[in-house]
Amino acid sequence: MLLKFSLIIFLQLFPHYSLAIQCYQCNSLTTSDCEKNYEKFGKICRSKTIQGRNFEAIGCREIKQYVDDHYSIDRSCAYLGENEEQKIE
């Protein structure tokens, strides 16, 4: 009972911990492990200011692309757009 009460108090005092989304955050152009060994890059998504407005992450993004014949993967938090479902559980 005390544990439940403590958890409720904690979540009320620190709501950002209960709502935080965790995503893989890396880019294969700067970190070669981002392509295949990305599990170690899981981080909590912080709020972000875009055009003067504060946004919370709504999901995770993985962008695979070719630029000038170079393949890259960018894994990051998603702040705008439709809700994404690829969150780290």
What is the pLDDT at residue 67? 84
For range 65-81, the mean pLDDT: 91
Query: Which of 81, 72, 65, 73 is CA-nearest to residue 24?
Result: 73
Provide the pLDDT confidence category of residue 84 given band limits of 50, 70 and 90.
Answer: low
Say how far residue 25 (Cα) sits from the centre of its chain: 7
What is the pLDDT at residue 2? 53
Provide the pLDDT confidence category of residue 7 given band limits of 50, 70 and 90.
Answer: very low
The full DSSP string for 16-79 is HHHH--EEE-EETTT-GGGTT-GGGGEEEPPPEEETTEEE---EEEEEEEEETTEEEEEEEEE-
Kindly tell me if the per-residue pLDDT of 4 is higher than 80: no
- pLDDT tens for 35-70 read 999 999 999 999 999 899 999 999 999 999 998 888
* Structure token pair of residue 13: 């005092």
Mean pLDDT of all residues belonging to the chain: 80
Task: Map out the domains of the chain as residue ranges.
Answer: 21-89
